[in-house]
Amino acid sequence: MTAAKVQNLRQIQRRMAAVLMMPLTRSGHIAHRTTAIKGKPAKSMAAEAAAFIKPNSRLTSLERLDIYSRSYWFRLIGSIREDFPGLLAAVGSTAFERLSQAYLVECPSQSFTLRNLGSRLPAWLRRNPRYAGTALGLALDMVRLEWAHIEAFDGGAHKTLGSEDLIHLAEGSSLGIQPHLQLLALKFPVDELRILVNRASSDDDPESNSVPHSTRRLMRRAAQLRPTPIFAAVHRFDSNVYYRRIAFEEYSLLNALRQGQSIGEAVGKVFARSPEPLDRQCSLLKSWFAAWAELGWLCQRQEEIK
């Protein structure tokens, strides 16, 4: 085998992938021209397609590539739409299409699974705020919540620690937090909106391509949402994902435990500046740990097991 021939296969795959990943025209077909790269001018897409794809008696080379190009964009934007329905409600259908396309151009999939397609969307949207327009704050929070939802849905879970296991813990003990539990500090109550989105999606006709009434209703609801800082735990319980509002101190304590701090250290830091009297702090801690144990959030630290 010669290096030139291996390169040949790579060149074909690079050229075809580059064509497929170019955004479609407004009418939803393959672009008319290639992108200019490193001093090489843009050229006709028909010429580019003809350079490596054979025509047949019914389809030109360009038309044959168009089938794959449309398929790429419909599949990937469909996947983003499925994973981020709350974002769609927050920014509206037109902005959502534009945002999804721009995201996929800059962040093409780097994973074998579509499950990970949106993993870079929260960071990308922070870097590209113009795509969310006036709904930026809401959109940023919603994207983080929806990515947390995906992580909570199929994230790992270790053997849970129940209330009876907690009795034996000492101040210097460490606790693990289940990998599926996602902790979020949010500026908007996007959990409420996402719950409405979930309810509405079950009412819509999945075969319809038009913007459903529920989407328009949700977009109006999103526009009415006012900033209200919340702390949320996105977690899995009995195979369902839930959003649970938690207190700031709970959020801080769970984060500290996840980072490996001992129970005593974490509790000390969380309540260091708390105006709550000691007996109230004890009561809060007791109720939080009991709830966390009941919800299966606690486990042994995996580093200690290893």
Q: Smallest gap, in angstroms, from Cβ of residue 110 to other proteins?
A: 6
Q: How many CB atoms lie within 10 A of CB 148?
A: 24
- Site for other proteins contains 228 (CB under 8 A): no
Decide whether 43 or 130 has the Cβ nearer to other proteins.
43
Tell me the C-alpha distance between 171 and 19, whole Å: 60
Residues ≥6 apart with Cβ < 8 Å to 28: 70
Stretch near other proteins under the rule CB under 8 A, chosen from 110-118, 138-146, 209-217, 289-297:
110-118
Q: Which two tokens stand for residue 143?
A: 């994207």
Residue length of the chain: 306
- Site for other proteins contains 305 (CB under 8 A): no
Decide whether 16 or 285 has the Cβ nearer to other proteins.
16
Tell me the C-alpha distance between 154 and 158, whole Å: 13
Element (H, E) at 234: strand 230-237
Decide whether 156 or 227 has the Cβ nearer to other proteins.
156
Q: How many CB atoms lie within 10 A of CB 238?
A: 6
Stretch near other proteins under the rule CB under 8 A, chosen from 59-67, 186-194, 212-220, 252-260:
59-67
Tell me the C-alpha distance between 46 and 55, whole Å: 11
Tell me the C-alpha distance between 147 and 79, whole Å: 13
Q: Smallest gap, in angstroms, from Cβ of residue 58 to other proteins?
A: 4
Phi-psi region of 145 (alpha: psi -120 to 50; beta: other; left: phi over 0): alpha
Binding mask 168-207 for other proteins (x = CB under 8 A): -----------xx--------------------------x
What are the distances in angstroms from CA 94 to CA 9, 52, 88, 97, 132? Answer: 38, 34, 9, 5, 11
Q: Smallest gap, in angstroms, from Cβ of residue 123 to other proteins?
A: 18
- Site for other proteins contains 40 (CB under 8 A): no
Stretch near other proteins under the rule CB under 8 A, chosen from 68-76, 163-171, 188-196, 298-306:
68-76
Q: Smallest gap, in angstroms, from Cβ of residue 25 to other proteins?
A: 19
By CB under 8 A, name the binding residues for other proteins: 1, 5-6, 8-10, 12-14, 16-17, 20-21, 51-54, 56-59, 61, 63-65, 67-68, 71-72, 75-76, 79, 108-115, 153-157, 179-180, 207, 236, 239
